Amino acid sequence: MGSLPRITLKKGKEKPILRGHPWVFSGAVARAEGDLAPGEIGEVYSGDGKFLGIGQFNPHSQIILRLLTRRRETLDSSFFGGRLLQADVLREKGLHGKTNAYRVINGEGDFLPGLIVDRYGEILVLQCLTAGMERLKGLFIDLLVRHFNPKNIYERSDVPSRREEGLPEARGLLYGEEILDSFEIEEYGCRFRVDVKEGQKTGFYLDQRENRFSLQKVSHGKKILDCFCYSGGFSIHTGLGGAKEITMIDSSKEALERAKDHFALNHLKSISPHLIRGDAFEVMRSLEPDYDIVILDPPPFAKKKGHLPGASRGYKDLNLQAFRLLKREGLLFTFSCSHHMNLDLFQKIVFAAAVDAGRRVQLLARRGHPIDHPVDLSHPEGEYLRGMVCRAL
């Protein structure tokens, strides 16, 4: 492997690495040796000279190194191919026959920090979020073609976090012929049209699959309010579950049109959804209490830690309105996808909303990531989706 660049940590700063955390922050570094070019592979040592592992450097980022292995080994095609196969085994066991759309690689959760790969049938969508994975993009394209034999690979590295890595946003075809503007996927019997070029995230909210499916079992004969509905994922599942009435709120005209198309695609002719374009905060205040199930799946309110106070007020207001709108024994499916909003804080916010709404509330379940979005237990930052199912009395 030859001589690699290295960093040596300040005394005592090796503890997070020894406990399994994959990140080294620049403030923990005592000295650096060799070429620490963005994306370069190198080694990390403790203050007393103990080898801690090998990872990818980026001196322009606050996270100066992202660890890939704690062993002395060559990080070649065989190494990364092994990580890909390990990730695929998990999906094959947990998702076979349930859907043809899922996350293939989930960054740190699959021990490949900075790499996201989503599968939509025969199409793969790739995100390189770090300088290290950007440098290995060609290698991963070859590995993905060899293992999955996809029709196309499309890049959606058009995310603001790349700027923190000194990278421009990027999107476009990486492999295969030009992709259609939209195509169908299947999820637990539901059919959806996906746009990987312009859609949210890589085209669809794959991380809510199991939470959407859970609604089918409780929706029969119910009146549903789906806030921040986007293209109607939750609502379609309630429709297939036998909901009698569905109201959907979103600020995007295009999202509501796509949601309407999804009702036709799933042959839900007996239900004519009530589509409301507008700000969910304002629309909810104008509605009368009469719903059996309310779904709250807003965009992230706290993209930075400093946004938490404002985000907390936003989440409380939404949940307070939801409790106000629910019938007795109605169900609230409430979510937060804000990285900095931990479950304990989110639960306290929902509790405070229940108190202010004058409702007694039972917590029936906590919700989170599906199996194709695993989280490394040593890397709690990888857990961002928090959800609760509550029963309002």
Q: Give residue-wise pLDDT tens across range 230-260.
A: 999 999 999 999 999 999 999 999 999 999 9
Residue 272 has pLDDT above 90, yes or no: no
Residue 303: the pLDDT is 75
Q: Examine the residue annotation and report whether 227 is marked as an active-site residue of this protein.
A: no
**If you search the block for the tokens 């075809």, which residue do you land on?**
173
Residue 2 clears pLDDT 70, i.e. is over it: no
* pTM of structure: 0.94
Considering the four listed CATH numbers 2.30.130.10, 1.20.1280.50, 3.10.129.10, 3.30.499.10, the one that applies to the domain covering 6-69 is 2.30.130.10
CATH 3.40.50.720 fits 205-392, yes or no: no
CATH number of 77-176: 3.30.750.80
Q: Provide the mean pLDDT of the chain.
A: 95
| Band (357; pLDDT cuts 50, 70, 90) | very high
Domain boundaries, the chain: 6-69, 77-176, 205-392
Say whether 205-392 and 77-176 share the same fold: no
pLDDT in tens, 151-204: 999 999 999 989 989 999 999 999 999 999 899 999 999 999 999 999 888 999
In tens, the pLDDT along 371-382 reads 999 999 999 999
Two tokens, residue 32: 């650096």
pLDDT tens track for 21-80: 999 999 999 999 998 999 999 999 999 999 999 999 999 999 999 999 999 999 999 999
* pLDDT higher than 60, residue 149: yes
pLDDT for 306: 82
Write down the pLDDT at residue 238. 97
Q: Which of 190, 227, 229, 337 is catalytic?
A: 337
